[in-house]
């Protein structure tokens, strides 16, 4: 029989791993094979838990017990099912073979290389018009997106829709996806390994959509697409170029305009003006293209 201290530690661990709701009446239905050491993590702030007192931003994390490093270790050990997929020098050796967007979605459904899949409810692939000239790329699905399997349908998604509408766009004439295709448990910050496992799919996604313009929303998207360590405040509002990965099947660079993540704008209302300037730049470039 487990002692109360042990039970409390188990519960803490579950909460730390993002188990924020009970899905069944009977405990212990899922017997995780590996129990990581101590609950410790930093996590993204979910749309659904915006609090006035919380520091907010897409790169903001809430520190809880333990060090982020130990959580990184924990999550890679416990959830990355196929670390063997990782090529020693440069991310993944695995490359999706899909020739259409539908095939890519199917391939992701079968992909076992990202541990987030084991804790998420749904694959969150994309929304909008695959023929659209602009492809927006966010960070990762939150709770609402995970439930519905659609990107940007939570609180920040609502703001994003309003931004689109103000600029004369809608989901019918833009395309939307994320760097991560599954929700990180408890909306924690995705690990490098999780991002690396999804990135070849993102790159293939871009190659299949071939948008005229890519708009990374927030630092995680911007840094990973542009392969830079520069922060979003420096990257946003400046035209740059997305250089496709040589194995993605695309050989033409794509103009890229990073901007703030809508979740950041919900907290930093002053940044909305800058985001609006970015939208104007975007519209101007589109008009010049036509
Ligand atoms: N934040 C994101 O980056 N993507 C979503 O789909 C939802 C919230």
141 lines ligand 1 (CB under 6 A): yes
| 2-15: average pLDDT | 73
Per-residue confidence (pLDDT) for residue 6, from 0 to 100 = 78
Residue (of 242, 126, 121) closest to 179 by Cα position? 126
142: left (phi over 0), alpha (psi -120 to 50) or beta: beta
Residue 275: in which H helix or E strand, if any? helix 271-289
Whether the CB-CB separation of 171 and 144 falls below 8 Å is answered with no
59-69 confidence digits (pLDDT tens)? 333 222 333 33
- Check pLDDT > 80 for residue 35: no
Per-residue confidence (pLDDT) for residue 22, from 0 to 100 = 57
138 lines ligand 1 (CB under 6 A): yes
Task: Say how many Å lie between the CA of residue 25 and the centre of ligand 1.
Answer: 30
Per-residue confidence (pLDDT) for residue 63, from 0 to 100 = 29
- Give 236's DSSP letter: T
Whether the CB-CB separation of 108 and 187 falls below 8 Å is answered with no
| 185-211: average pLDDT | 97
Q: Looking at 133-256, which runs of residues are DSSP E strands?
A: 134-138, 175-178, 213-216, 240-242, 254-256
Task: Say how many Å lie between the CA of residue 156 and the centre of ligand 1.
Answer: 7
- The structure's pTM equals 0.74
Specify the residue for token string 């023929």: 131
| 150-179: average pLDDT | 97
Q: How far apart are CA 259 and CA 279, in angstroms?
A: 9
98-119 confidence digits (pLDDT tens)? 999 999 999 999 999 999 999 9
Based on the number of CB atoms within 10 Å of its own CB, is 129 exposed (0-12), middle (13-18) or buried (19 or more)? Answer: middle
| Ligand 1 mutation pick, 140, 182, 216, max ligand atoms within 8 A of CB | 140
What mean pLDDT is reported for the chain?
Answer: 80
- Check pLDDT > 90 for residue 52: no
Task: Say how many Å lie between the CA of residue 8 and the centre of ligand 1.
Answer: 32
Per-residue confidence (pLDDT) for residue 54, from 0 to 100 = 26
- Check pLDDT > 50 for residue 74: no
Q: Residue 263 CB: number of other CB atoms within 10 A?
A: 29
């Amino acid at each position: 029989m487990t002692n109360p201290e042990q039970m409390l530690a188990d519960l803490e661990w579950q909460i730390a791993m993002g188990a924020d709701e009970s899905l069944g009446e009977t405990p212990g239905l899922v017997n995780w094979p590996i129990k990581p050491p101590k609950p410790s993590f930093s996590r993204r702030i979910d749309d659904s838990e915006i609090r006035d007192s919380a520091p907010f931003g897409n790169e903001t994390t809430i520190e809880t017990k333990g060090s982020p490093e130990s959580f990184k270790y924990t999550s890679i050990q416990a959830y990355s099912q196929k670390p063997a997929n990782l090529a020693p020098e440069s991310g993944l050796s695995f490359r999706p073979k899909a020739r259409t967007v539908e095939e890519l979605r199917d391939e992701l459904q079968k992909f076992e290389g990202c541990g987030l899949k084991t804790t998420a409810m749904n694959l969150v692939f994309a929304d909008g018009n695959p023929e659209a000239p602009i492809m927006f790329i966010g960070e990762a699905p939150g709770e609402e997106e995970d439930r519905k399997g659609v990107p940007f349908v939570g609180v920040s998604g609502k703001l994003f829709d309003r931004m689109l509408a103000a600029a004369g766009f809608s989901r019918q004439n833009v395309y939307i996806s994320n760097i991560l295709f599954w929700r990180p448990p408890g909306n924690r910050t995705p690990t490098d390994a999780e991002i690396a496992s999804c990135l070849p799919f993102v790159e293939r996604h871009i190659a299949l959509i071939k948008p005229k313009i890519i708009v990374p929303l927030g630092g995680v998207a911007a840094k990973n697409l542009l392969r830079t360590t520069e922060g979003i405040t420096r990257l946003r509002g400046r035209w740059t170029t997305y250089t496709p990965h040589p194995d993605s099947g695309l050989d033409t660079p794509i103009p890229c305009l990073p901007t703030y993540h809508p979740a950041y704008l919900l907290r930093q209302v002053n940044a909305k003006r800058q985001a609006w300037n970015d939208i104007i730049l975007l519209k101007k470039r589109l008009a010049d293209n036509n």
